[in-house]
Chains A and B, each alone.
Chain A
């Protein structure tokens, strides 16, 4: 099926093809259109799933935990405060090695309350043990959803996966999208057969207390398994290409970086804007490029090293903060080159687009312009100086 679809509707269409047995969600803007559409499909008998309306995100993801532990494929979606409210359970699901898939409609965190897009929500849960995939456009969200289930349920991994799509920009945007057919999805994603489940015929105990004699090994195993995921993801995306005829690099995408003198590293929908600027500047003879991070967790350090080692100047664009410290993505990109001989002369770090502030073509040009000889650290783009003069007068 090919046609113009809203991003949320496209996600719901592909989730229908994935055939989850249990869907549970709690409404939060801008995730709502996804779950409304799924609820409609269940109500009309198009999707034979249990749709569980809950009283909070904490319970939504806990319901999914219970369903996956019982051996049934499950799905949830959330945003912002909802993801943070889930965070306790997110750690738990990864620790229990349950292959849940969640869509995060990326949105800023309060305060001030703000319903618009940035990456602070998913970046804040980067240490939960979930695989995190960031989509650039609606087609990529659709495809990453299918890849996510295949990856999560791989017997070597059994890890939860979060597909991140920019709130409003992708959830409410409309694009020409190719929704695969059921036969393709079934071929790529077999019926879910769990490694372990709650079953009276073979009773197991899950979620035990692990004391200092055991805990360390559970965390080591998680860390090692996430490393294994780095080699598995490209294999799965190659298989995906065979079935669906769409090619994804999986971990990172290099856009005109080979001979580039200046490269911006970024994640999510802003990459489309950056590509446009790269094309425009390239037409004027400027050697610029984009490194798009698709897989942020596990962090593809080797691939990033190879992509940037010969680039003289790198700008990292973060849409989130680690307040009081370096910007999250920039800190990790810099860490990739620590102690290496081949490395960029300069890695500057920029913050833009927080709380839905548009990152325009001009914003991106400004970043390229600021990529001079002086290294910037967490430099904010598009600040309004006049607002910073406001005083609390009480």
Chain B
């Protein structure tokens, strides 16, 4: 067994989808990798002084600048003539990626840095206590998009980050999920086979914020994909090159496992609205297996 790249003893919650995904990402990337992390759960639970879970060089600076710091790391490696030997990963949660860090990330993509950006999408600001982010799904109950007499939860659908990435004409864009771990690792390896900026958005269930049982993390992740709510897609140089086909399940199967959607369950109209989001994805990406 080779030396671990992500050690146990970190302080993530039991059943944390992000800690699982982060370990698989770095194991797929290998030891010759420098990780630059945005502020967030992952940074807090894996680098709590004097403890670090990382077996690779790791740097955390701020909430929104991982993409820019990673650009500097890549530029320095290029200057030193070491770029071909070392992978660079920038990573963060959905808030650090799609909200406060989007400008720096767009800059990194546009400049063409040879960096893989991994967004661990747990669909809210979990580190600060489950506030909504730009990647919180429609009608999800969070602490800043609470369900009330005048509200069904988060008002807007998820910001289309993969499309925003694709629009930057970068070499590789993919979505992945903690529900499909081998697929996630394949995509990390695929990303590092291509030069230039890459973006992978990993759906990472959060037992605390989504209010499901810790043991259900993988099942919840799978159901998001299998209902069509989180399509697994791949783009190379702007062209859709890969889609995980599904035999679509009703969205209710996904929603009923999670406290954040509980308020929708006895409301057929509300469930229909979520089903429409899934159906649109199924149409748009041709997700359905044709028998």
Binding site for B on A (CB under 8 A): 21-22, 24, 48-50, 52-56, 58-60, 62-72, 74, 88-89, 92, 96, 198-200, 203-211, 214
Contact = CB atoms under 8 A, between A and B. Distances in A.
A59 B86 contact: no
B271 interface: no
Interface string B138-170: 000000000000000000000000000000000
A49 B79 contact: yes
Contacts of A22: 72, 75-76, 79
B52 interface: yes
21 contacts: A21-B76, A24-B75, A50-B78, A52-B111, A55-B104, A56-B103, A56-B107, A59-B104, A62-B62, A63-B75, A66-B59, A66-B69, A66-B76, A69-B59, A70-B76, A198-B59, A200-B33, A200-B56, A205-B47, A205-B59, A209-B48
Contacts of A66: 36, 59, 61, 68-76
A22 B77 CA distance: 10
Nearest to A22: B75
A203 B72 contact: no
A203 B5 CA distance: 10
Contacts of A62: 61-62, 65, 68-69, 71-72, 104
B1 interface: no
A352 B217 CA distance: 63
Most chain B CB within 10 A, of A48, A49, A59, is at: A59
Interface string B37-64: 1000001100111101011111111101
Contacts of B214: none
Contacts of B33: 200
B86 A67 contact: no
Interface residues of B, number: 45
A205 B58 contact: yes
Contacts of B70: 66
B57 A204 contact: yes
Interface centre among A68, A70, A89 (most CB of B within 10 A): A70
B77 A70 contact: yes
A21 B59 contact: no
A117 to B, nearest CB: 29
A59 B71 contact: yes
> Which of A50, A63, A67, A214 has the most chain B CB atoms inside 10 A of its CB?
A63
B107 A50 contact: no
B73 A198 contact: yes
B65 A89 contact: yes
Given A58-B104, A209-B48, A211-B48, A67 B59 contact: no
Contacts of A50: 75-76, 78-79
B32 interface: yes
A89 B61 contact: yes
B184 interface: no
A209 B58 contact: no
B59 A53 contact: no
Contacts of B289: none
Contact of A200 (B31, B71, B74): B31
A158 to B, nearest CB: 15
Contacts of A71: 76, 80
B224 interface: no
B62 A203 contact: no
**Chain A CB within 10 A, most for which of B79, B86, B106:** B79
**Listed residue (A55, A199, A207) with the most chain B CB atoms within 10 angstroms of its CB:** A207
Contact of A88 (B34, B62, B72, B74): B62
A67 B76 contact: yes
A306 to B, nearest CB: 40
B68 A200 contact: no
Contacts of B73: 66-67, 69-70, 198
Contact of A52 (B37, B55, B71): B71
Given A50-B79, A59-B65, A206 B58 contact: yes
A21 B80 contact: yes
Contacts of A210: 49
Given A96-B61, A208-B47, A72 B76 contact: yes
Contacts of A58: 64-65, 68, 103-104
